[in-house]
Structure 1
Amino acid sequence: MSKIKVGVIGCGSIATHRHIPEYANHPAVELAAFCDIQVERAEYHAGKYEAKAYSNYEDLLKDTDIQAVSVCTPNYLHAPITVAALKAGKHVLCEKPMAVSNEEADSMIAAAKESGKKLMIGHNQRFVRSHQKAKDLIASGDIGKVYSFRTAFGHGGPEGWSVDGKDSWFFKKEEASIGAMGDLGVHKTDLLRYLLDAEIVEVSGFADTLAKEATVDDNAVCILKTDTGIIGTLAASWSYTAGEDNSTIIYGEKGIIRLEDDPNYSLIVQYKNGETVRYELGKIQSNDEGGQQSSGVINHFIDAIIHDKDVLIPGEEGKKSLAVILAAMESSLTGKHVKLND
């Protein structure tokens, strides 16, 4: 079987450390093209993989041999590039957040439907083994009715990760639109929806710029309520200076599930009867050393293309997670509680 030819648009850190090596390790993929406005970045990867290099994504999309692309650009370019790629007949894996507005998300979903091509949003937390096990435990009734949750995603900031350091687009409102909530909080809204099999319908949020020289939020805390009546909190931060926190705790009538909250056990269940069960399921993928090496996202995306299956996180799912963080930012701006539309 011939290999799927993939193009990567945007050759910054997420592409370099996640997408490109995972595509390279997939036996059914050929990395055929790279694009970046700083063309030397594209040329570096093109040289390594004997591929083509572009400085303009429109030129890459004209290549009829390319069957799929990863969109790894600043947030404000996700929608226009994704729509153009779908119209050009490419399958698209787009980084999160999928867009900077609900309207942009709608345009991406519409383009996917019209093209018949697959659109997947890169929410990797659904592929973490501890999260998948927790979802099974919750669905089976292992901890009974879920009452509440608290989840956090924080680290020292994008300057330690982004290829541009302190000059990164992450800190610029015109390119990122949303800061820590768009970078980290959207991962957790997607995870909560996945774990609880419920939609978030009400949001109260506080977001501010406290730690960085930025025009976007670097700290945010939200109260969330699901359509099943569960309430809890979400924190997203670029000011966790002494290490990363990527934990989630679910509180149920029969016990508590602790996810990525212990250095040795990725999943711990503490039962009401005093029993504790600890699971060693490998560390979550992280910017810190020792994290899970494969996100699972690329393997799932390519498998869906090969076997013509639905992706786990299509545009519709990405939009629902995006809508929550947009509502949180609206709440912070207006000082009002926000109810999400259906």
Structure 2
Amino acid sequence: MYLEELGEHGLIRRIQKRFKSKDRSIVVGIGDDAAIINPSPDKSLIISTDTLREDIHFKKNFFSPSDIGWKAVAVSVSDIAAMGGIPRFLLLSIAVPDKTIVKDIDGLLNGVKDISTLYDIALIGGNISRSKKGITLDTTVMGELPKGKGRLRSGASVGDLIYVTGIVGSSAIGLSLLKSSFVYSTPSLSTSQLISTHLRPLPKVNEGIILSKNKLATAMIDISDGLLADLSHICDQSKVGANIYRDLIPLPDIHLKLKKRLAKEPLFYALYGGEDYELLFTIKKRDREKLEAIFKKKSFDITFIGEITSKDNGIRMVGIDGNKRIIRPGGFDHFISKSGGKIC
């Protein structure tokens, strides 16, 4: 069955049945002109919106419908994590061609449902529209955090330490593998993990909550555009510079045969690739032991990678020999990138 046979209202009813919520703060959910929620009086509401568009952010020969639905939600959830918030509610807008197979829509909704269940997010509404070409998903995620505890990009100061969660570069390497024939001729656990990082990222919500709750992060951002680009966002808004240590950046462990097939060194993908959705943050030096003890207890990976310096310093890479060189922030930009946007 095609979507033109099911119709808009048939699809809405299909979504209503699948996304029922028992959240008592939802007064009115899917099906009316607007949703109504009762926010907690002692918390701030944080909101983020993102768009995933076919042939700009994803290609259907790489992404299953479920992967598309998952990632559309993940990118907005990651923004909530970067503020230290708890994601609560989701608005989802879908624009698809009328010849889209309903089975593919069901697959897309499965991905949305899977990640919403994982992070305990309630779908409360959205919009459905016909598209003349390709699929477009718009997601708006609303989250909560205790008043006064939001982590911003603008709080870093000279002398602060720079940390990152997890591993960086995996997503961009996964995309590179998807574009090559190597992944299909030589599948392995290593390649599947790298590809999964790109297709179905896991926003670092719990890590963000810890950093917010304990007031540890002085500045924070999620790595969506690349380590250097997102570090430059912190530096620009905090009016500071940074030194990062080349050999401290946590890179994926890639076997030699796979490494030889990559167009660039793993470090390049970490610095410029993006879409890792890890958290990049700064802390006061005095909080280093406290930070590392808390994260060790929770078994969450974090790595010290540098220090905040004066604005005049710019962003510099420190090599093994101690030499420092200025590096170009670079990273992804929809309008400056030669491709006109990242082709995933």
- TM surpasses 0.5: no
**What TM bracket, shorter-length normalisation?**
under 0.3
Structure with the bigger RCO (C-alpha within 8 Å, sep 6+) is 2
